[in-house]
Structure 1
Amino acid sequence: MDRHATAAPKCPRTFTGCDPMQDSFSLDEADLSLINVMQIAPRATWTEVGKVLGLHSATVARRWERMTEQGVVWVTAYPNLSLWTERHCFAFIEVDCEPTARKQVVDVLAGVPQIVSVSQAASGRDLFLIALFTDLQALSRFVLDYISLLPGVRGTRTRTATRFYSEGNKWRLQALSPDQRAHLTRHNRKTSPGSGASHEAFRDLLLPLSSDGRRTTAELAALTSTSVSTTRRRMERMVREGLVSFRCEVSDIISSWPVIAYFWARVPAHELDGIAQALLALPEIRMCAAITGTDNLLVIVWLRSLGESQRLETRLAERFPTLTLTERAIVLRMSKRMGWLLDSHGRCTSPVPVNPWADIPHDTHRDTRLDERPKR
C-alpha cells in the first residue's frame, strides 16, 4: 500500500466551488489513478503512464490536460528539503497582521520567491510562511529589514529547521493496484547525496522546473542555451545526487484530506530522531522537521475532518508518552504551496518559481526622512 494513501471512490466525483460562477468538474477512477501515477513518477512519459493504466498515451495526456486546466493538479520541483536544511537555511516564519491589512500582506509575501508556502491560520498567528534561504544572514535580512517593516505587520516569530524528516511529495492516493505500482518502481531512483554537488550549480534547471516540473529536456536545453545531451546529463546528475524533489500536487478539494493543521511539540532531545521517524508511519503526517526554539518538533498534518484533530492527538499521546503537544493551529486558507499561488478553493492559478538565490526584497515603504537626519 502507498504510504499516506486515500481510498479511491467507487464512482465519479463532481466538485463545484462555493461561487456559483465557478465551473464544476468531475473525476472518475481513471483520473484518480492517473494522479496516483504522477505522484509516484511525476516525469514519466505519457506512453509509460498509458502502459500502467492500460490506456492510450493520447487519452492520458488529454485527461491530464483537462485536470491541469482546472487547476486541481500540477507538477512542481524545488531543492530537496532535507539536503537544503543540512547545507543552507530552511525557515518557518509566523507573521501577525492588522486585520484590515492581512490580504495586502499575503499578496506581497506570496510573490516573494524565497517563500515557498503561505497559509492563513486560525489561531496563534495570522500567517505561517515556509521559506528557503541560502544562509542565516539572508534570513535575518529578510525578517528584520523587510517583513517587519511592511505596512500592517505587527510582529514576527522565526524558527529554523535543524533536520528534515519528511516532505509532502511522499503523500499518495490509493488508486493503483499492486501490479500497477510495481511497474513504477524503477522511477523510485535511489539517490547518493554527499558528492559535494551544490544546488547553485543547477539553479538554471531548478527555476524553470519549479514552474513546470514536466518540462522536457529539449525545453530545458533551449531555456539554458545548452545542448540536449548536456542538459540530459545534468538532469540525471541532479536527480541522482538528490538535489531536486519533484512533486505532483493535488488540490485540497479532491484530496479527501481537506483539513490542514500544524502541531508544535516538545520531545526529549535523545528521543527526537526516533520519535520523528516513527511519526512518519502515520497516514496523517505530511511534513515533519526538527526546529529551533522552545519546541523542537514541527509536524504538518492533513486530516479528513476537524474532529480528526482531537483523535490524532489522543493517538499521539498513547503511542508517544514523552511527546508533548504544546500548540496546534488549523489552516483557514492556503494561499501558496511550494511555489504556486492558489485560489480560495485550493486550485493553482500561477507559479512563483522557488528561488532561494533571488535578491532579498527591499522595504519600499520605509520613511525616507530617517535617511535625512544630519550626520554627526
Structure 2
Amino acid sequence: MAQDSFTPDETDLRLVHALQAAPRATWHEVGRSLGVDPVTAARRWQGLADAGFARVTAYPEVRLWAKEHCNAFIEIDLEPTARPHAVEVLSRLPQVVSISVISSGRDLFLTVLTPDLTTLSHVVLHQLHALPGLRRTRTHTVTTVYGEGNRWRLGALEPRQLPAGRSTGGGAVWKPHHREVLGALDDGRRPAAEIAARTGRSASTVRRWLNEMVDGRLLSLRCEVAQPITGRPIAATFWARVPPDELDRTGTALTELPEVRLCAAVTGADNLVMTLWLRSLGDIQRFEAELARRLPALALTDRAVTLRAVKRMGCLLDDAGRITDVVPVDPWAGP
C-alpha cells in the first residue's frame, strides 16, 4: 500500500492503542478489544505497517538497563555541511537507538545503549569522533530512567477495552541466548516459529526464552507510532536541575503527565532530561507554567524543539515521521 494513499481512521488508532498495551497480543484478543474480527484486525495492522504509521519494536528494557549497564544522551555539534553524512552513518549504528535533529545551539541529540562505560567510551571516542566535520560532543550518562516511550499511550481506548498485558517481575540477567532472540526481533510481533527458523532453535525453546525476557524485564516491546497521526506533532526536549533529595519524587511525578514521553536523571549540572510530545509550539509555554505550578523544586535550564526525528528506538523515519526501515537495537554490536 502506498504511504500517501492511506490515512488512518479511528479504528486504526484504537488498534495502535491496543497494541501499545499488549504488543504481542493475538489478533483474536485485539479484535475482541476493538469489536472487529481477527482477520480485519490483522489486515488493518498490515495496512498501518506498510504505510509506515506503526511498528512493534524490541529493545532492552531501559529502566533496568540503566541500573545494570549504560544509557547515555549525547549532543553532537557539526559543521553545517557535515550533518547529512553524520545522520547516515549514525542511523546505522545498532547502539545509537534514537537520533533527533534539534534546535537551541545543538545539531543532533542521540540516545545510546551500551553494555558498559568502556563500550560507551569506544563509541564516543572512536566512532563519533571519526565523523567528518565534528565540532564537539557532550555525553550525559543516565543514572535513573523514570519513564520512557513504551508507557506512553495514544488514548484512543478506554482502560476496560484494552487487551491484557503481561505482568512482569525482574531479577533476570542477559545471557547469550537472550541476545540471539533480540537479534531476530527486528519485528516485535515476529512469531516464535520465525524466530526459531532464524536462530536454529525450536519454537518451544524460543517461546520460553522470549517469556523469560519479558517476564524478567529484560525486554521492552513497544508499539511505535508515527508522531504525525498522534495529534501531538511537536517534540521537544527540556533540561532541568532538581535538588538531589527531590529528584526521585520529581522524576516520578513527571511521568504521570501525558505530554512526557521520556524522563531520566543524568550526570552533570543539569540532572534531569525529559522529552515531550505536544499539540502545538504554544504548548511549550503552557507546559512550562504547569511545571512551575506543580513542581516548584524543578528549575528548567534549557529547551530544544525537534526539527526532525531521524530514528526512534531502532525505527528509521522519513521527513514526514513515517517508519521506513528498522535497525535492530544491539548494545553489544562490534565496530
Same fold flag (TM > 0.5): yes
2:161 is aligned to 180
Unaligned runs of 5+ in 2: none
Quick one: which of 206, 209, 214 aligns to 2:182?
206
Equivalent residue of 1:44, what SS? coil
Aligned residue runs from structure 1 range 302-341, under 5 A:
302-341=277-316
Quick one: which of 239, 251, 269 aligns to 1:294?
269
Shift of 1:200: 4.6
CA distance in 2 between partners of 1:137 and 1:22 (Å): 42
Closer, same or farther in 2 for the Cα pair 1:199/1:348, shift >3 Å?
farther
Mapped contact 1:92–1:158 kept (Cα < 8 A) = yes
Quick one: which of 218, 234, 238 aligns to 2:213?
238
Closer, same or farther in 2 for the Cα pair 1:22/1:45, shift >3 Å?
closer
Mapped contact 1:79–1:199 kept (Cα < 8 A) = no
* Residues 25-67 of structure 1 deviation map (CA, whole Å, 9 limit, x = unaligned): 2222211111111111111111111122121111111111111
Shift of 1:170: 1.0
2:142 is aligned to 161
1:152 is aligned to 133
1:135 aligns with 2:116: yes
Mapped contact 1:73–1:250 kept (Cα < 8 A) = yes
1:125 aligns with 2:106: yes
1:353 aligns with 2:328: yes
* Residues 116-165 of structure 1 deviation map (CA, whole Å, 9 limit, x = unaligned): 00100011210000000111111111111221221111110000000111
Mapped contact 2:238–2:304 kept (Cα < 8 A) = yes
CA distance in 2 between partners of 1:203 and 1:312 (Å): 40
Equivalent residue of 1:336, what SS? strand
1:252 is aligned to 227
2:44 is aligned to 63
Query: TM-score scaled by structure 1?
Result: 0.86
1:194 aligns with 2:171: yes
Shift of 1:22: 6.7
Closer, same or farther in 2 for the Cα pair 1:199/1:331, shift >3 Å?
farther
CA distance in 2 between partners of 1:282 and 1:98 (Å): 36
- Cα RMSD of the aligned pairs, angstroms, is 1.3
* Residues 233-264 of structure 1 deviation map (CA, whole Å, 9 limit, x = unaligned): 11111111010000001111101111111111
Shift of 1:213: 0.3
CA distance in 1 between partners of 2:244 and 2:72 (Å): 20
Mapped contact 2:3–2:50 kept (Cα < 8 A) = no
Supply the AA of the counterpart residue of 1:269.
P
Shift of 1:24: 3.6
Equivalent residue of 1:212, what SS? coil
Query: TM-score scaled by structure 2?
Result: 0.97
Shift of 1:201: 4.3
CA distance in 2 between partners of 1:268 and 1:200 (Å): 40
CA distance in 2 between partners of 1:46 and 1:35 (Å): 12
CA distance in 1 between partners of 2:158 and 2:294 (Å): 31
Mapped contact 2:177–2:209 kept (Cα < 8 A) = no
Unaligned runs of 5+ in 1: 1-20, 362-376
1:83 aligns with 2:83: no
Shift of 1:198: 1.7
CA distance in 2 between partners of 1:238 and 1:322 (Å): 37
Quick one: which of 201, 215, 222 aligns to 2:190?
215
Supply the AA of the counterpart residue of 1:82.
R
Supply the AA of the counterpart residue of 2:226.
S
* Residues 306-343 of structure 1 deviation map (CA, whole Å, 9 limit, x = unaligned): 00001111111111111110011000000001001110
Mapped contact 2:184–2:199 kept (Cα < 8 A) = no
Quick one: which of 213, 229, 233 aligns to 2:204?
229
Equivalent residue of 2:307, what SS? strand
Equivalent residue of 2:252, what SS? helix
Mapped contact 2:99–2:110 kept (Cα < 8 A) = yes
Equivalent residue of 2:190, what SS? coil
2:242 is aligned to 267
Mapped contact 2:3–2:51 kept (Cα < 8 A) = no
Shift of 1:199: 5.5
CA distance in 1 between partners of 2:81 and 2:222 (Å): 35
Supply the AA of the counterpart residue of 2:91.
A
- Aligned length in residues: 334
Mapped contact 1:199–1:243 kept (Cα < 8 A) = no
Supply the AA of the counterpart residue of 2:288.
E
Aligned residue runs from structure 1 range 27-106, under 5 A:
27-106=8-87
CA distance in 2 between partners of 1:282 and 1:51 (Å): 29
Quick one: which of 258, 278, 281 aligns to 1:283?
258
CA distance in 1 between partners of 2:284 and 2:190 (Å): 38
Give % identity: 54
